A and B are shown apart, each in its own frame.
Chain A
Amino acid sequence: MRNLIIIVLVASALFSCKKFDKANINQNAPEEVNPQFLLSNVLAEGADNQAYWGWHAGNLLSQHAANLEFLPVDRYNLGSNEGLWTETYRLMKDLQDVKNSEEGNRAYDAVADILTAHQASLVTDLWTNVPFYESLEAEEGNFTPIFDEQEAIYTGEGGILDLLSAAVETLENTQETIEGDLMYQGNLNKWIKFANSLRVRYLVRISDQVNVSTELQQIIDDGNIFQDVNDEAVVPYLSASPNQWVIFTEREGRYVDVRMSKTAEDILTPLNDPRMEHYYKPTANSSGGTEVYLGIPNGLSRESQNSYDLGDVSLMGSYLRDEPDGVKAAFMTYAELQFCLAEAAQKGLISGNVSTYYEAGIQGSFDHLGLTLPAGYLSQPNVILDGSNDLERIVTQKWIASFMNGYEAWFDFRRTGYPDLPLPQDNLNNDVFPVRYAYPSTEQAVNGSNYSDAVNAIGGDDYNSPGWWEN
């Protein structure tokens, strides 16, 4: 018995409980944060996604550029791009936390809603039906969100357009301020302009399905949209690591593998467009002499490329390789807005002069790039709107301006068929232009029944099941 007492005494001496209770508190990272840090993150990461995927996929699908060696996207073996899917939902989770933060600050709420609308449009435009209304409910125990119809995501209550108009209203009526706004430095009026400009983008996008005329006209009448390039939603890369443009430090192959496309050559050359010399480099064989800019057709197999001398194919512009901070990652540009308005006016959805919007768009694109619009450019016969193929010219100029801006030019092509892109000769998609990514296989593995429902709803998990707005 005495021994037992000794044991108990020694044992209790061994186990001092002081540290025990605190051992499992994770002091490496915070459990709660001020929403400003999450907002900064969404702006930095979200903008980076636009430029990164603009380079790696958007430019190829829109045929601004063609690939030589790593060909899956260019030959339409698109895959699922699960990385972007996962990251987009994480950013939306960050935005949800901005809204749920204890601050109860309505300005943060509205800004978060604007960015949520943007991220949501990105996922639905890339994958068609996607989880939205039931998404981000893991903390409430829902790990298998259903996939919503694209129409509902755009037009439903709490959907993309609803979020944007509500955000505008909130911002117009709040005195609260936000921090961590690395894009607009807390200028809420610019956020209102951004929100309204996004509304224009999405209303035009769905305009084949829904009569958007009244709402569009209202936005124009209110006038609180991007006024010039200073209002643009862009986040520039910086000269210092870790905010440098990714291709600046990537291996050589990542740069030289991407070339000017034949499509770009065919569109830009007849326009005498100085943006060509910005977007691309003169061919190696012409350097030192009369510089020429030549492209290579998209989606050629390596064997088919043998009939091209790569010395006669332009590389991408110097600012995309040699400068860490040459790229401005864009959520939306002023030029794009003006082209949206030009299209809307051309289709009679809004009043206003089509050419005014159109020319403002072209001017905006040059301003965005820091280039001077050459005198006479706008009056060239193949630029000027002469009533014959105005829509094609508008969307083609928009295409030129959308270089590197995420997937925007691809979305426009899917919707309008402009510019008239050639089908890549060696495509692996049965001679059909793809219109979406496949769903991430993780959804099949972990959200199986909702995945199956979605696949049935859209008509198959391949690259050819069109979304609602492009039907």
Chain B
Amino acid sequence: MKIAITALFCAVAMITLSQKTIEGKVMDQKEQPIPFAKVKIIGKNQGTTTKEDGGFELKVNSNDSLRFSAAGFESKTIPVSGETEWTITLPSSINELDEVVVTALGLKRNKRDLGYAVQTLEGKEITEVRHPNLVNSLAGRVAGVQTTNGSSGVGSSSRVIIRGETSLSGNNQPLFVVDGVPVSNEFIANDTENLESGFHEVDYGNGMGDFSSDDIQSISVLKGPSAAALYGSRAAGGVIVIETKEGQRTDGVGISVNSSVTMEQIAFLPEFQNVYGQGSGGQFAYEDGLGGGTNDGGLVSFGPQMNGQLITQYDGPSFDQDGNPVRGGDVIARQGNPITPTPWTANPDNVRNFFETGVTSQHNIAFSGANDDGSFRLSYTRMDHEGTIPNTDYRRNNLSFTGTYDLSERLSIRAFGTFINSNSDHRPGLGYGSENVMYSFLWMGRQVNLDAAENYWQAGREGFQQFNYNTQWLDNPFFNVFENRNGFNKNRLLGNAVLSYKISENWKLRFRSGVDTYTDLRTSRRAFSTQRFPNGAYREDDVAFTEINTDLLLSYDKKISEKWNFNAALGANNFTQETRYKSLTAGQLSVPGIYNFENSKVALEASQYNSQRQINSVYGLSGINFDRFLFLDVTLRNDWSTTLPVENNSFAYYSVNGAIVFSEKLNLPEWFNYGKLRLNSSSVGADTDPFQLRNTYQFNQNYGSYPLLTNSSKLLNQNLRPERINGLETGLEMYFFQERLGLDVTVYQNTAKNQIISLPTSSASGYSSQIVNGGVIQSRGIEIMLTGDVIRGEDFKWTAFANFSKGASYVQELPEGIDQYTTGFARLYTTAENTIFYIANAQKGGRVGDMYGTGFQETEDGRIIYGDNGLPLRDNELRYLGNYNPDFILGLGNTFEYKGFELNILLDWRQGGVVVSRTRAVGSTSGVLSETLEGREDGIVGDGVVNVGTEENPVYEENTTSVSAAEYYNQFYNRANEESSTYDASYVKIRQIGLTYTFPDKWTKKMGVQDFKIGFIARNLFTWTENPHFDPELSAMQGTSQVFGVEDLSYPSTRSFGMNIQFNF
């Protein structure tokens, strides 16, 4: 027995002696780690898997042989003996373009197999320089994608349009899909009107702006209708497919941290003049801001030159009844006591200094882990933002959980849930009028020193009467942002769960359901003495939204032979969406400062709108693939929508797409590594919004006890048919020189028929617009993507990409009974005569996005005609102003890597398109913009002619009449004259520069930290554009919708600088 024990001991000892532990790393050809590669000892049931960083540890015997294998890579077998350095490089088994992308319905497909264009961003690209609004991460990075930002900074809506506007009616936003389940990117605006009274528009942000970039594994952009054919009608504008992160096996504890702080500065301000102050005809004296002095109730800046002469001003010293010092503008306390005149000097930075340095901090911590059966990930993101506009802010908390688990060999489950709270104490007012501080600035004398305005109550009238440089029309900007707040608090729950069951080797069943629900409570407070609300006001807007998507998919996948693969799937989907909107307003308050409906002095005004919509669908898809050379996919879908008339509510979609990887079969030169031709054709349908079929009357505010109802201005249509968009797309994808140079060219054509559009009509017909199935609109375009590993050195690497896109849409057929296709309009002022019409006029090319407005009377050779009074003559005839769409967009990206350093530079060039600017119209009429300096002393003789003949037989002579600058600019930049406020919207931007350094793990490991990265980010660094006053990338919001081609007193856009730290435990 003893011997036996000893023998055993010796045997163990022998084994132990010949065993050793090796440590190593498995890498690909690009020296990127390969996680989860299998390391197996041949002939034994022993082995391990590599960690996320490609590293592994294994006990081996010296006579063992190890086999390294990983999906997508060729295996290698290496004997233990003789090897000391265990860094194993596995060559790619298949072409490395066999990138796996997530496509429709969350199906993971090999990119190589696809017959349509998809572009993917990895989470890393998004989080290293994360933008507060996810949508902005796409700017410049994806061909054919155009983003525009709301002007009220972080927290405002960013829009994304893929391949231009296919629809004239909808918002053209793509469908956002998280883990295969659609979610809401909608922005449900308050029920406000672009009016001279009442509450202004406020941008509370687009739905996807709530999402945390840190929870995202990848974003794929499916561009054409074909890619979207399986998602149904809401995908007509393309699809953005987001995959959330899952827990992973890690070396460390499984905690990752990503922290960034950015500072924002205003990047654009209108270019002001600083020579002449407020007043008219060179005269000004402040008395009460109501015309009691000289021109002190006026808004224009054609006053005295600012030479330091002494003039009474709103901040000049005065005294009250008791002899206490007060400011000139403390009119009530002053009781007519004189103001001591003070030097009349320019305050060039009075507007600039109003703005502050914004701060945005984003912190994320995520815990994750995984074993053979499952994984989890718990992530918390906190964002805090303080805007460049004082007292504006935005906060967000995201708590997310992802879990996966294989319940059995066949049954697996995955669930993702995120709870989001976003809130703000104040979002700035947009649009034209006194609630927008830019309005106050464009009507503010250049002599105004705003320091005095910071104490924004009149002496002795705190809470009741604001103090301001202009009491007649404007709100004190500080009063505006500190007292008149637009807050909100939004709670959102978004989640999905997937249950997959593997019926057999070939059959799979998947059940998936997702919910996206939120409530958003918005509160608007207005203090006493607000211009629009002399008695203050309080309003609440309540939005509740729920969307549920449920689907079931049965799929079949079979390798028929060595070369033939076949797959098919059949599914059904139910989509329901419910929106409830409610608004209550107390238009006058009893007691100042109490924002509660019980404090209402008047009857509350209410507004309410509830809607719901439902779509049921069945779909099927089938694909075959021959020898990794030929791929063919067919999809079919049918929808039944509640929003269409019963007899027309069913509509089908199909798509056929094919790909030929010709490089597999052709004998191409060695430098030509890969070539694929894609072709696809599709036909997709679309429904419309709820309640577009039958007219209802609108409630008006009661007259006394008489209820009032009136007609709505839009004629609905009981005979609507579904929209149809037919798409054709072909593309060529090629890689050259060891795949160092990639070229992807796509051309497409989309033909939209029966578009459901709200067409403006003659209001004399009884309605100002009608819902119709529109004519035929065709969009064509080209997208070119170029990627290159310019330098692929040992230490130094330079990769670059360029995305180019160009496209335009033209009207091919007009809707019945229409002689020109006026598809919409934007107001440049609250009155209707200052309107821009979007007219696709077939005689004049018929391009979608053509804008028409009024302008000057001109001779045949294009000279402006002047009246006898020396002022340019306008007429009411609509003329072409330009098209708001760009001619092309080019995004350029460069990444330089040296050792652990990585430098990213992203440029964006948008060429063409025009924008009509209200800043220009207002600021030039008021005389605060630099272009109004000319002719102040000597008057202006306008460049043009005078008709000295008759109207029928004009005889033109050179205009020689001189007029004052005030008169000239007032007429030249008249707000009804859109022509003189039109700018080229082209720009070149340095969108982003990021520098990241990754510390070598050996340095940081002592601290228990890995993948330690520190980054510096600069965003929106420079913009080159024609106009000196505003950022042409910003969008405008009027009433409840965003409008195109119009700049509407936008806030200055910001440039930001920040720092980012990322590491894992």
Interface centre among A21, A91, A249, A461, by most chain B C-beta atoms within 10 angstroms, is A249
Q: Is the CB of A256 within 8 A of B839?
A: no
**B697 nearest in chain A by CB position:** A33
Q: Is the CB of B472 within 8 A of A253?
A: yes
Binds A, one of B160-168, B174-182, B686-694: B686-694
Q: Is the CB of B837 within 8 A of A441?
A: yes
Contacts of B197-254 to chain A: CB distance below 8 A: 197
**B553 nearest in chain A by CB position:** A7
Q: Is the CB of A94 within 8 A of B605?
A: no
Q: How many cross-chain pairs have Cβ atoms below 8 Å apart between A and B?
A: 323
Q: List 11 A-B contacts (CB under 8 A).
A: A20-B614, A28-B696, A30-B697, A94-B710, A141-B817, A301-B970, A303-B280, A428-B869, A442-B762, A442-B835, A446-B760
Q: Is the CB of B762 within 8 A of A11?
A: no
Across the interface, A28 reaches (CB within 8 A) one of B292, B298, B610, B613, namely B610
User: For residue A31, which residues in chain B have a CB less than 8 angstroms away from its CB?
Assistant: 694-697
A26 at the interface (CB under 8 A from B): yes
Q: In whole Å, how far is A306's beta carbon from the nearest beta carbon of chain B?
A: 4
Q: Is the CB of B588 within 8 A of A249?
A: yes
Binary CB contact string for chain B from 862 to 896 against chain A (1 if under 8 A, 0 otherwise): 00000111010001111000000000000000000
Across the interface, A44 reaches (CB within 8 A) one of B693, B695, B706, B770, namely B706
Binary CB contact string for chain B from 844 to 856 against chain A (1 if under 8 A, 0 otherwise): 0000000010100
User: For residue A215, which residues in chain B have a CB less than 8 angstroms away from its CB?
Assistant: none
Closest 8 CB pairs of A and B: A82-B832, A241-B602, A303-B281, A131-B764, A251-B531, A302-B280, A29-B696, A253-B472
Q: Is the CB of A448 within 8 A of B587?
A: no
User: For residue B966, which residues in chain A have a CB less than 8 angstroms away from its CB?
Assistant: 301-303
A347 at the interface (CB under 8 A from B): no
**A243 nearest in chain B by CB position:** B703
B974 at the interface (CB under 8 A from A): yes
Q: Is the CB of A24 within 8 A of B691?
A: yes
Q: Is the CB of B766 within 8 A of A139?
A: yes
Across the interface, A430 reaches (CB within 8 A) one of B534, B588, B867, namely B867
User: For residue A79, which residues in chain B have a CB less than 8 angstroms away from its CB?
Assistant: 831, 833, 976
Q: How far is the CA of A33 from the CA of B759 in the complex (A)?
A: 26
**A residues within 8 Å of B by Cβ?**
3-4, 6-7, 10-11, 14-15, 19-21, 23-24, 26-31, 33, 37-38, 40-41, 43-45, 68-69, 72, 77, 79-83, 85-86, 89-94, 96-97, 130-131, 135-139, 141-145, 180, 182, 235, 238, 240-243, 246, 249-253, 256-257, 284, 301-306, 310-311, 426, 428, 430, 438-449, 460-462
**A43 nearest in chain B by CB position:** B703
Q: Is the CB of A251 within 8 A of B835?
A: no
Q: How far is the CA of A9 from the CA of B129 in the complex (A)?
A: 48
Q: How far is the CA of A85 from the CA of B837 in the complex (A)?
A: 18
User: For residue B281, which residues in chain A have a CB less than 8 angstroms away from its CB?
Assistant: 302-304, 306
**B195 nearest in chain A by CB position:** A83
Q: Is the CB of A439 within 8 A of B280?
A: no
Q: Is the CB of B764 within 8 A of A38?
A: no
Q: How far is the CA of A428 from the CA of B963 in the complex (A)?
A: 13
**B837 nearest in chain A by CB position:** A445
User: For residue B738, which residues in chain A have a CB less than 8 angstroms away from its CB?
Assistant: none
Q: Is the CB of B709 within 8 A of A33?
A: yes
User: For residue A28, which residues in chain B have a CB less than 8 angstroms away from its CB?
Assistant: 608-611, 691, 696
Known A-B contacts A135-B764, A138-B770; the reply to A144 vs B704 at CB < 8 A is: no
B672 at the interface (CB under 8 A from A): no
Q: How far is the CA of A28 from the CA of B507 in the complex (A)?
A: 47
**A181 nearest in chain B by CB position:** B706
Q: Is the CB of B964 within 8 A of A303?
A: yes
B295 at the interface (CB under 8 A from A): yes
Q: In whole Å, how far is A135's beta carbon from the nearest beta carbon of chain B?
A: 5
Across the interface, A69 reaches (CB within 8 A) one of B297, B699, B708, namely B297
Across the interface, B766 reaches (CB within 8 A) one of A7, A23, A137, A252, namely A137
Q: How far is the CA of A188 from the CA of B463 in the complex (A)?
A: 51
Across the interface, A83 reaches (CB within 8 A) one of B291, B472, B708, B831, namely B831
User: For residue A438, which residues in chain B have a CB less than 8 angstroms away from its CB?
Assistant: 833, 876
User: For residue A29, which residues in chain B have a CB less than 8 angstroms away from its CB?
Assistant: 696-699
Q: Is the CB of B700 within 8 A of A45?
A: yes
User: For residue B694, which residues in chain A have a CB less than 8 angstroms away from its CB?
Assistant: 26, 31
Known A-B contacts A135-B764, A241-B603; the reply to A249 vs B976 at CB < 8 A is: no
Q: How far is the CA of A21 from the CA of B974 in the complex (A)?
A: 52
Binary CB contact string for chain B from 1010 to 1026 against chain A (1 if under 8 A, 0 otherwise): 00000000000000000
Across the interface, B761 reaches (CB within 8 A) one of A24, A90, A143, namely A143
Contacts of B758-782 to chain A: CB distance below 8 A: 759-768, 770
Q: In whole Å, how far is B296's beta carbon from the nearest beta carbon of chain A?
A: 9
Q: Is the CB of A138 within 8 A of B767?
A: yes
Binary CB contact string for chain B from 268 to 305 against chain A (1 if under 8 A, 0 otherwise): 00000000000011010000001110110111101000
User: For residue A38, which residues in chain B have a CB less than 8 angstroms away from its CB?
Assistant: 697, 709-711
Known A-B contacts A7-B570, A29-B699, A80-B833; the reply to A89 vs B605 at CB < 8 A is: no
Q: How many interface residues does chain B have, given as a range? A: 35 or more
B1027 at the interface (CB under 8 A from A): no
Q: How far is the CA of A301 from the CA of B875 in the complex (A)?
A: 21
Q: In whole Å, how far is B211's beta carbon from the nearest beta carbon of chain A?
A: 27
Q: Is the CB of B764 within 8 A of A89?
A: yes
User: For residue A238, which residues in chain B have a CB less than 8 angstroms away from its CB?
Assistant: 703-704
Across the interface, A30 reaches (CB within 8 A) one of B295, B300, B434, B696, namely B696
Q: In whole Å, how far is A238's beta carbon from the nearest beta carbon of chain B?
A: 6
Interface centre among A23, A27, A130, A182, by most chain B C-beta atoms within 10 angstroms, is A23
Q: In whole Å, how far is A301's beta carbon from the nearest beta carbon of chain B?
A: 6
Q: Is the CB of B472 within 8 A of A301?
A: no
Binds A, one of B67-75, B99-107, B348-356, B819-827: B819-827
Q: Is the CB of A80 within 8 A of B762?
A: no
**B509 nearest in chain A by CB position:** A3
Across the interface, A130 reaches (CB within 8 A) one of B291, B764, B837, B867, namely B764
User: For residue B603, which residues in chain A have a CB less than 8 angstroms away from its CB?
Assistant: 240-242
Q: How far is the CA of A57 from the CA of B970 in the complex (A)?
A: 20
Q: In whole Å, how far is B433's beta carbon from the nearest beta carbon of chain A?
A: 10
Known A-B contacts A30-B697, A139-B715; the reply to A144 vs B300 at CB < 8 A is: no
**B513 nearest in chain A by CB position:** A14
B554 at the interface (CB under 8 A from A): yes
Q: How far is the CA of A439 from the CA of B875 in the complex (A)?
A: 11
Inter-chain pairs besides A445-B760, A447-B762, 19 sampled, C-beta below 8 Å: A3-B503, A10-B511, A24-B693, A30-B696, A38-B709, A43-B703, A45-B700, A85-B763, A138-B770, A143-B761, A235-B703, A253-B531, A301-B970, A430-B869, A441-B876, A442-B835, A445-B825, A448-B819, A448-B820
Q: Is the CB of A444 within 8 A of B706?
A: no
User: For residue A10, which residues in chain B have a CB less than 8 angstroms away from its CB?
Assistant: 511, 552, 572
Q: Is the CB of B707 within 8 A of A40?
A: yes
Q: Is the CB of B832 within 8 A of A26?
A: no
User: For residue A145, which residues in chain B have a CB less than 8 angstroms away from its CB?
Assistant: 762, 764-765
Q: Is the CB of A68 within 8 A of B695?
A: no
Contacts of B905-927 to chain A: CB distance below 8 A: none
Q: Is the CB of A80 within 8 A of B832?
A: yes
Q: In whole Å, how far is B891's beta carbon from the nearest beta carbon of chain A?
A: 35
Known A-B contacts A69-B299, A241-B588; the reply to A23 vs B690 at CB < 8 A is: yes
Q: Is the CB of A143 within 8 A of B471?
A: no
Across the interface, A45 reaches (CB within 8 A) one of B473, B710, B976, namely B710
Binary CB contact string for chain B from 942 to 975 against chain A (1 if under 8 A, 0 otherwise): 0000000001000000000000101100110010
Q: Is the CB of A94 within 8 A of B711?
A: yes
Q: Is the CB of B708 within 8 A of A44?
A: yes
Q: Is the CB of A256 within 8 A of B820?
A: no
B260 at the interface (CB under 8 A from A): no
B642 at the interface (CB under 8 A from A): yes
Contacts of B248-264 to chain A: CB distance below 8 A: none
**B299 nearest in chain A by CB position:** A69
Q: How far is the CA of A384 from the CA of B663 in the complex (A)?
A: 105
Q: In whole Å, how far is A139's beta carbon from the nearest beta carbon of chain B?
A: 7
Contacts of B707-750 to chain A: CB distance below 8 A: 707-711, 713, 715
User: For residue B295, which residues in chain A have a CB less than 8 angstroms away from its CB?
Assistant: 302, 305-306
